[in-house]
Amino acid sequence: MWRKVAFLIITLPIALSFFAASAWAGTYSGGSGTSGDPYRIADADDWQELMVTSADWSKRFILIADIDLAVVTVTPVGISSTVFRGVFDGSNHVIRNVTINLPSTSYVGLFGYVDFGGQIKNLGVENVNITGSSVVGGLVGYSYDGSITSCYSTGSVSGSTAGGLIGMNKFCTVTSCYSTASVTGGSNVGGFLGHGYNGSITSCFSTGPVSGTNSVGGFVGFDGTPTMINSCYSTGTVNGSSDVGGFVGNNESTITSCCSVGLVSGGSRVGGFVGYNNTGYITSCYSMASVTGNNSVGGFEGSGFSCEITSCYSTGFVSGSSSVGGFAGSYDSWGVITSSFWDTQTSGQATSAGGDGKTTAQMKMESTFTSAGWNFSSVWKMLRPNEDYPRLIWQEIFPGDIAGLYGVDYEDLEELVAHWLQSGCPAGCEDADINGNGSVDSYDYAILASDWLNFYMLTNVHPATTPNPGDGATGVVRKPVLSWTAGANAVYHDVYFGADFNDVNDADVFSAVYQGRQSSTSWDSNDNYPDGLALGTTYYWRIDEVGCATKGDVWHFSLGTGGPASNPYPTDQAANVNPNITLAWSPGA
C-alpha cells in the first residue's frame, strides 16, 4: 500500500509537468505555423500554449482577436537558451494586462529574447507591469538582428538596461513604434529603448516618465555605435544621476531629425537632448526641454567628447552649479558644434560652451537659420513665421489651427466665429479663411471640425489666463497677491511686474521688472514690495508660461488714491464709553 502511495506522490508532479507542456500542444485556434497558414492566437489559452511550446518559437503566428492576460501567470516567449525566431503578426490587435515579475531574471518582456530573423509587427501591448533584473522591455527584452514594426506598449517597466518597448536592441530594425510606459531602474534606462547597438530606429516616439541612475534618456538610455536613429521624439520627464538627457542619456551613434521636450533633471552631464555625447554625431535636432543639474548642464548637450553637433537648437530653461550653458555645458577640444543656436531669453543663459545665442524673436525668424545653411525644403519648416521656432518637416500640421497655439480647440473656434462670413480674405480675416477661397464659411468650419482636439506631438505651451486682480481692476489693496490660471502644458511661470507698460511688455529674464521663475500660480507682491505698492499708481504685470516659452498678455490694475479712515466706533466724541471697548473703523480708499 505505501509503495503505491509513494509511487503516486513521485509520479504526480511528473504527470502535471507533462500535462502543462503538452495540454495545448498543436491546438491554438487553427493554422499550421507556416507563412501561408500561421498559427492563430485568439485567446488567453492560445497564448499560454505559445508560452510553454518552445518548439514552435520559430513558427509564424497571427493574432486574430484582442486578448486579456489578467488571470494568466505570464512568462516570456523566448529565453536565452531557447530564443524566439518566428514571426508574430498582431494584425492590429491588442494584448492587455501583462504582468511579469521576475526580479532576478534577465531578458524579460512579453517576448523575452528575439533572435536572428525574428519579427514582431502590428501589435499593441497595454497595461503591462513588467519587472526583471536586466534587459527588460514592455514588448521585447532583447532583440537581435530582426525587426519590430508598428508596435506599441503602455504601462510600467522596471529593471536595468530597460526600455518602455525594448530593453536591448542589436542589429535590429525598429520602425513606426511607440511607448507611453513609465520606466524605472538602474543604468541604461530609456522611455523607448534601454540600450541600442548597431541597429536602426525610425519614426518612433516615447512619452512616459523615466528614472534611473546612469545613462538615462527620455527615448534611449545608452545609444551605442553605430545605431541610426531618425525622425523620433520623446516628451517624458527624465531623472537620473549622470549622463541624463531628454532624448538620449549617453550617445555614441548618429541621430538625425529628432526632438525632445519635457523636464530633465540630474547630477552631472545633463542635457535637454543628450546628457553625454560620447563620439556621437547629431544633426537637425532640437530640444525644448527644461534642464536642471549640478555640473555640465546644457539646454541641448550636457557634455561632449570628440563629438559633432550641427544644425540643432534648444529653447528650454537651464539651471545648474558649474559648467552651465544655454546650448552646451561642456565639451572637449576635439568636439565640434556648428550652425546651432539657443534662446538666450527662455534659457536664462547668456553663455554656452558651444552654439550661438539668439533672442526669442531671432529664434523665430527663418532667416536666422537659413543664413547658417539650414535646409527648409526637406528637413525643416516654419509652422508660423515669426511666431514659432523651426519644426521638423515630418511633424504634422493641422489646417484648423487658426490661432497658432499648436493644436485645434476653442481658441481656434473663437477666431473662426469672430470672422464668420467675412469676405475679401485674407485682409482682415487673419487666418480664419482656412481653405483660402476668400471667405470664412462652412467649408472652413468643416476643416476645423475635422481637426478638432488634435494637437501637435510636441505641443507648445498655451498662455496664462484669468488674472486676479482682473485686467483693468481698480481700488486694489496695497499688498495684493497676484494669481492666474496656468496655460496648458506650462512647466514654470516667469513673472514680470512694474509701473510702466513698455518696461513690462518688452522685458526678458534679464530685465529689472523680471520677478523670477516659479512653479506656483500666485505671486505675493509683499515679497518684493514689503512697504506696499504706491497709492494712485497703475501697475502692469505679465506671466510667460515656460516649457516652450509662450509670452503672456500684459495685464494692469490700479490702486486707490488713498483717503482717511471713516465710520469710527465708538463714534466721534462719544461719552461714557466702556474702557475695555474694541475700536473699529472703515479703512481709507
CA distance 118 to 308: 34
Confidence of residue 493 (pLDDT cuts 50, 70, 90): confident
Average pLDDT over residues 340-366: 95
Compute the average pLDDT of residues 557-570.
79
Task: Compute the average pLDDT of residues 506-534.
Answer: 87
Q: What is the mean pLDDT of residues 510-535?
A: 89
**Is a pLDDT exceeding 70 seen at residue 28?**
yes
What distance lies between CA 127 and its chain's CA centroid?
19
Give the predicted TM-score (pTM) of the model: 0.75
Lowest pLDDT segment from 2-11, 217-226, 410-419: 2-11
Q: Please enumerate in sequence order all residues whose Cβ is within 8 A of that of 17, keeping only pairs 6 or more positions apart, or say none.
A: none
Cβ(350)–Cβ(344) below 8 Å: yes
* Range in 65-74, 168-177, 569-578 with the lowest mean pLDDT: 569-578
Contact present, 343 and 320 (Cβ < 8 Å):
no
- Whether the link from the prior residue into 530 is cis, omega within 30° of 0, is no
Per-residue pLDDT at 67: 97
Alpha carbons 296 and 301: distance in angstroms, whole number: 9
Distance (Å) of CA 401 to CA 410, 419, 444, 452, 546: 10, 15, 11, 9, 21
**Which pLDDT belongs to residue 25?**
52
Alpha-carbon gap, residue 300 to 354, rounded angstroms: 10
Q: What is the mean pLDDT of residues 489-517?
A: 85
Question: Higher confidence at residue 384 or residue 83?
Answer: 83
Q: What local confidence, expressed as pLDDT, does residue 588 receive?
A: 63
| Grid cell listed for 486 | 496656468
If one compares 501 and 225, the residue with the highest pLDDT of the two is: 501
Give the Cα separation of 12 and 4 in Å (integer).
12
Kindly report the backbone phi and psi dihedral angles of residue 540, in degrees, each rounded to the nearest multiple of 5, phi listed first: -120, 145
Domains and CATH numbers, the chain: 1-181 (no CATH), 186-397 (2.160.20), 398-453 (1.10.1330.10), 465-559 (2.60.40)
Amino acid in position 523: W
Q: What is the mean pLDDT of the chain?
A: 89
CA distance 55 to 83: 10
> What does the alpha-carbon distance between residue 327 and residue 309 come to, in Å, rounded to a whole number?
11
The predicted-structure confidence for 413-460, as pLDDT tens digits, reads as follows 888 999 999 999 988 888 899 888 999 999 989 988 888 877 655 444
Residues 275-320: tens digit of each pLDDT:
999 999 999 999 999 999 999 999 999 999 999 999 999 999 999 9
